Amino acid sequence: DQQVKQNSPSLSVQEGRISILNCDYTNSMFDYFLWYKKYPAEGPTFLISISSIKDKNEDGRFTVFLNKSAKHLSLHIVPSQPGDSAVYFCAAGSSNTGKLIFGQGTTLQVKP
Amino acid sequence: EPEVTQTPSHQVTQMGQEVILRCVPISNHLYFYWYRQILGQKVEFLVSFYNNEISEKSEIFDDQFSVERPDGSNFTLKIRSTKLEDSAMYFCASSVEGLAGMETQYFGPGTRLLVL
């Protein structure tokens, strides 16, 4: 199932700098998108979401951007902190179904 | 902060045995889900459950799988006759609503199932 893709398996950034995680999708029926953060041996933790009627949503250090024409979303973390080091998953859903489709995940490492 | 809990955290079983994975969703949530993640692969949707019945299920969720809400708090996933390929991390999730769009699903910590 390649409907949601995160093409970068890993990303390394310096503490204090911006982290940009990307996600592409193919299904135009998706109308909301979420980012989850996952530590080893834990479940995905919700970070931030965005509806398809918006192009930006911000929550503290986290901002999600949605480009519907390109079927692309990104998560910006600024400033990045070492505690942000984890696997980040984007997920997509549509309002006519409850299931989420996940990307493969991107491992973020923030170096002190 | 309310959270989804799952038991056990780890389960080792022999092929062909039945396993029951348990979840306690967040108390005011009405929609419940099971997902799984095979090592090195994506998190995959298995089933959604609302009002004591399955709302949607994936191709993975065949006759070997069943879900139940036996009481007002627990939500269970049963695998009747486990196969080697059922080895995975199983996540339970819940949401306040399921079809309103933008409904955040909150995940439990997972049960790691190993089938030998």
What tens digit of pLDDT does each residue of A20-53 get? 999 999 999 898 999 999 998 889 999 999 999 9
**Cα(A104)–Cα(B73) distance, rounded to whole angstroms?**
31
Q: At A15, is the secondary structure helix, strand, or coil?
A: coil
Compare B71 and B33 and report the one with higher pLDDT: B33
Q: Each residue of A83-110: pLDDT tens digit?
A: 999 999 999 998 777 889 999 999 999 9
Query: What's the gap in Å between the CA of A44 and the closest CA on chain B?
Result: 6
| B56–A43 C-beta distance less than 8 A | no
Residues found in chain B: 116
* Residue B89: predicted pLDDT: 96
Q: Do A99 and B56 touch (CB under 8 A)?
A: yes
pLDDT confidence band for A69 (50 / 70 / 90) = very high
- Is A96–B48 a contact, with Cβ atoms under 8 angstroms apart? no
pLDDT bin (cut points 50, 70, 90) of residue B40 is: confident
More confident position, B101 or B97: B97
Structure tokens at A87: 């696997």
Q: Using 50, 70 and 90 to split pLDDT, how confident is the model at B100?
A: low
Which residue in B has a C-alpha nearest to residue A92's C-alpha?
B102
DSSP code per residue over chain B: ----EEE-SEEEE-TT--EEEEEE--TT--EEEEEEE-TTS-EEEEEEEETTEEEEE-TT--TTEEEE--SSS-EEEEESS--GGG-EEEEEEEES-SSSSS---EE---EEEEE-
Residue keyed to tokens 């509806």: A51
Q: Do B99 and A97 touch (CB under 8 A)?
A: yes
CA distances from A97 to A11, A87, B15 (A): 32, 26, 33
Element (H, E) at A59: strand A56-59
Element housing A71 (H / E): none
User: Residue B30's closest chain A neighbor by CA?
Assistant: A98
For a pLDDT cut of 70, what percent of chain B falls above it? 95
CA angle centred on B76, ends B104 and B1, rounded to 5°: 40
